[in-house]
Chains A and B, each alone.
Chain A
Amino acid sequence: MVATLVRLRFLVLRNSLKRSTWQLVAVIIGALYGVGVLAAVVAALIGLGFAPVELASTALILGGSVLVLGWILVPLVAFGIEQTLEPARLVVFPLSMRQLLVGLTVTGILGVPGIVTSIAVLATFATWIREPLAAVAAVIGGAVGVLICVIGSRTVAALSTSLQSHRRFRELGGILIFIPLILLGPIITWVSQGVATSADALPQLARALSWSPLGAPWSVAADVAIGDWGPAAAKLGISLATVAVLVLIWRRSLAVALVTPPASSAKRVAKGKTGLFGILPATPAGAIAARCLTYWRRDPRYARQLIIVPLVPVFLAIYSGNMGSLVLLNLTGPLIAFVLALALYTDISYDGTAFATHLADGVRGIDDRLGRLWALSVIAVPVILLGTFIPVAITDSWANLPMLLGLAVAVYLTGLGVSAVSSSRIVIPVPQAGDNPFKSAPGAGFSTMLSGFATWGVTMALCLPAIVLAILSVVFDSVLYGWLTLAAGAVVGTIALVIGLRMGAAQLDRRGPDLLMRLKRMRSA
C-alpha cells in the first residue's frame, strides 16, 4: 500500500508536469540547483573529515540544526508545503492511519528536498570515515535526523490544516499564529548571538544544541568518535523521542484534519449589509477595490503576504545589533514598501478562474489595475508610513526622514508600476482559494521566485536615481540630497506607476482570455 502511495505521488507529479512545460523547466532547474548545492555540501563534508574532531562536530551540529529548522520553517515563509498527496484526498480509501503516516513519510523522503537531504546526510559517513564506529553512528543518527526533518515539516503542514478546521483560524488568525513560529529562527539566532559573541563560542552553542531535538541526531557520531558512549546513547534517545513526539502530534492533528473538513465559516451578515461595497465609490474600480479588501480580510492567502512585514524590522534590528548601532533599522519602511508593492503581482493568480467574472463583465483593464492597486494601498501605505516614522523616532535620526521617505515612495510606486505590468502577463501557480495557504504547487517555488526576482530587479533598476541620491545624502551627510531623494522618488515613482498602469491595462485588455486559459490549466496542476 505504501508502494502504491509512492507510485501515485510520482505519477501525479509526472502528469502535472506534462501539463505545463514552464513548471517542468522550473523543476529541472530547481533539481540542477539542488545538485549543485549538494555537490558543494558533499565535498565540504568529505573535507571536514580532515579537520579536528572538535571542529567537525561543531560544524555538523550547527549545520544539522539549521537543516532541521529549515525543513520546518522554510515551507511556511517561502515556498509552501508540497502536498501532492493531500491527506484529505486519501480519506476515502481504506487506509489505516499507520499506512497513511508511513506512506506520507516515505513520499516526503523521496521528494527532491528529501533526496538531497538524505544524500548529504549519507556523506557524513565520509566525514567520520577515520572512526568506523562513528561513521556508522553518523548514518544511524543521520537517518533519524532525516526523519525529524520530514516528519517535522509534515507535522507543521498537518497542524496548519487542522488549525484551519477551526473557524476562527480560517481567516487572519490562522496566519498570525505562525508569526511567532517563524520568528523563532531569528530569535534563536539573536539569543545565540548573545551567548556567542565571537566565533570561539560556536562550539559552546553546538554543545548546547546537541542536547536539543535540533542538534541531537547530528551529534551522536561526534560523541562516539571521542568515546563518550553515555552521551551518544542519550542523544540518540533524544532524537528517537523527538520523532516519536512528532509522529504523535502529526497523527493527532491529521486525525482531526481528516474528519473535520475546512469548517464553513458560518459567517453570516444581515441581508442588506454589503460591507465595503456600500462604502467605496460605486464604480467598477471602486467595486474591485472593495472586493480585494474583503479578500484581504477573508482569504488567508492574502494575509500570508503580510507575514513578512514584522520580520523586516526584526531582521534589521538583529543586523543593526551586530553593527553596534540601530542605523539599519531605519530602512524598515523602504524595505516593507519593496515587499508589499509586489503583493499586487500575485493578485490575478489568487483570483483563479474567478477572474472570468471580470472578463465576462467587460471590465476595462485600467479599472482592474486601479481597483487592485487601491485595495493594496489601503493596507500598505499606513504600514509603510509606520515603518518609516517609528524607526526614525527610535533612532532619533529625523534628518534622514526625507531621504527614507523618498526611498519608500520611489520603491513603492515603481514596484506597483512594474507589478501592474508583470501581473497582467504572468500567472503563477498559487494555492487555490480554500486550500491551505501554505501549500505549493510543484515548481511553484522556483518559477515564482524567478519571475518575482525579475520584477524586483526591474523595480530596483528604475529606482536607481532615488537610490543613488539617497546614498549620496548618507555619504555627504547632506539634508539637501535627502530632499532631492524625496523629490526624485516622487517623480520617478509617479512616472513609473502611470506608465506601468497604462501598459498593464492595455495588456489586460488584449490578453485577458489568454490569462484565463492559463489560470484554468493551472487550477488542478
Chain B
Amino acid sequence: MSDPTPSPTPAPVPAPAVPAPAAHAPSDHPAMQLNRLSKRFGDKVAVDDLSLTVPVGSFYGMVGPNGAGKTTTLSMATGLLRPDAGQSLIHGVDLWAEPLKAKALIGNLSDGVKLFDRLTGEQLVTYNGLLFGLDRDEVAERVADLLKLLDLESAAGTLVVDYSAGMTKKIALACALVHAPRLLVLDEPFESVDPVSAANIRDILTGYVQNGGTVIVSSHVMDLVQRMCDHVAVVANGRVLVAGTVDEVRDGSTLEDRFVDLVGGRTHAEGPEWLRRS
C-alpha cells in the first residue's frame, strides 16, 4: 500500500468494481472440461470415471452428499491431486500436461487445506498476488479493493490464524480472486459464512460471471445453488448422476427434492428413544 492515510468512512458509495476476469480472445473451448477422471484411495473409489463440461460464462453448482467425491474431483481438476486416470482441460489447456499455464487461469479456493495463517490477511492476499507474478503496485491496488469488497478492511492487519471461520473463507476467496482468473473453482465457499457476507459473496460472484468469468462452486445448500447457479451437477459415489441447467435438472420440482430423489438415503426416524427423553 502506498497510501497510509486512513480511507474515508465508507459512505453508501457503490461497491468497488468486481474484479473482471482477464481479457482474452474468445475461443470455443469450455472453461473446464473433465474427461473420465478417476481416483482410488486404497480400496475406496473416490472418483469413478467422472466427466463434466463447464461452459464459459456459466455459474456452475456441484452438489452431492458428504463423501461424494466433490473435493477430490475439484482437487484433481485444479492440480492439487494427481488423478489415476483422466484429463482436466482448462480453457482447452491440459492441466496435467501444462500445469503452470493452466493454473494461471484458475482461482482456487480449496476445502480442507490450511492457509499460511501466520500472515496477516493483507499479507496473505499480497503473497498470493506476488506468487502469480503480479507487480507490487498492481497487487497493492487489488488487495485494497478485495479487502474492501469482502468487508475485511478492519481485519487487514490481523493474523489469519485469529480470524473466525467465516472470515477465513472470505480471505481465501480474496486470495483466489487476486490474479483475476478466468475460472473460479470454489470448494464450499459458503461454509460458516454469515448470511450477510454470503449475500455479498454471491453478488461478487454473479458480477464476475456477468463480466464473462466462469464460476464453479460445490455446496451442500441446495436452496442457495438453485437461486445462484445457472448450471448444476449432482454428484454421488464419485459419479455425475445428472448435469445440466438448473431448470433441466430440477425438472419442475425443487432442487432439494430432486437431489433427495436422486441420491436417496432420506430417513424419517425420530432418533433413538433415549435421545428424545431429555
> Closest residue of chain B to A359, judged by CB?
B80
> Cβ of B139: which chain A residues have Cβ within 8 Å of it?
282
Q: Is A269 an interface residue (CB 8 A)?
A: yes
**A362 with B104: CB separation less than 8 A:** yes
Assign chain B's interface to a size class. 35 or more
> Cβ of A513: which chain B residues have Cβ within 8 Å of it?
79-82
**A354 with B117: CB separation less than 8 A:** yes
> Closest residue of chain A to B1, judged by CB?
A272
Q: What is the size, in residues, of chain A's interface with B at 8 Å between Cβ atoms? A: 47
**B162 with A265: CB separation less than 8 A:** yes
Most chain B beta carbons < 10 A, residue from A274, A283, A354, A357: A274
Given contacts A298-B118, A353-B112, A354-B114, contact A360 B126 (CB under 8 A): no
30 A-B contacts, Cβ less than 8 Å apart?
Answer: A264-B159, A265-B159, A266-B162, A267-B159, A269-B120, A270-B4, A271-B147, A271-B153, A272-B122, A273-B1, A273-B122, A274-B120, A274-B140, A287-B127, A287-B131, A291-B116, A295-B118, A298-B159, A299-B118, A351-B116, A354-B116, A356-B80, A357-B115, A357-B116, A361-B128, A362-B79, A362-B103, A363-B131, A513-B81, A520-B112
**A357 with B175: CB separation less than 8 A:** yes
Scan B35-54; emit 1 where CB is below 8 A from any A CB, else 0. 00000000000000000000
Q: Is B92 an interface residue (CB 8 A)?
A: no
Residues of chain B having any CB pair with chain A under 8 Å: 1, 3-4, 6, 78-82, 99-100, 102-104, 106, 108, 110, 112-120, 122-123, 126-128, 130-136, 139-140, 144, 147, 153, 156-159, 161-162, 175, 179
Q: How far is the CB of A313 from chain B (nearest CB, A)?
A: 30
> Cβ of B161: which chain A residues have Cβ within 8 Å of it?
264-265, 433-434
Q: How far is the CB of B135 from chain A (nearest CB, A)?
A: 6
> Closest residue of chain A to B121, judged by CB?
A271
Scan A330-364; emit 1 where CB is below 8 A from any B CB, else 0. 00000000000000000000011110111111111
> Cβ of B81: which chain A residues have Cβ within 8 Å of it?
513, 516-517
Contact among B104, B118, B136, B157 for A269, CB-based, below 8 A: B157
> Cβ of B131: which chain A residues have Cβ within 8 Å of it?
284, 287-288, 357-358, 361-363
**A284 with B133: CB separation less than 8 A:** yes
Residues of chain A having any CB pair with chain B under 8 Å: 264-275, 277-278, 282-284, 286-288, 290-291, 294-295, 298-299, 351-354, 356-364, 433-434, 509, 513-514, 516-517, 520
* C-alpha spacing A155/B81, complex, angstroms: 42
> Cβ of A270: which chain B residues have Cβ within 8 Å of it?
4, 157
Most chain B beta carbons < 10 A, residue from A272, A273, A358, A363: A272
> Cβ of B135: which chain A residues have Cβ within 8 Å of it?
282
* C-alpha spacing A517/B134, complex, angstroms: 28
Q: How far is the CB of A425 from chain B (nearest CB, A)?
A: 15
> Cβ of B80: which chain A residues have Cβ within 8 Å of it?
356, 359-360, 513, 516
**B128 with A294: CB separation less than 8 A:** no
* C-alpha spacing A288/B81, complex, angstroms: 22
> Cβ of B130: which chain A residues have Cβ within 8 Å of it?
277, 282-284, 286-287
Q: How far is the CB of B197 from chain A (nearest CB, A)?
A: 19
> Cβ of B106: which chain A residues have Cβ within 8 Å of it?
360
> Cβ of B115: which chain A residues have Cβ within 8 Å of it?
354, 357
> Cβ of B156: which chain A residues have Cβ within 8 Å of it?
271-272
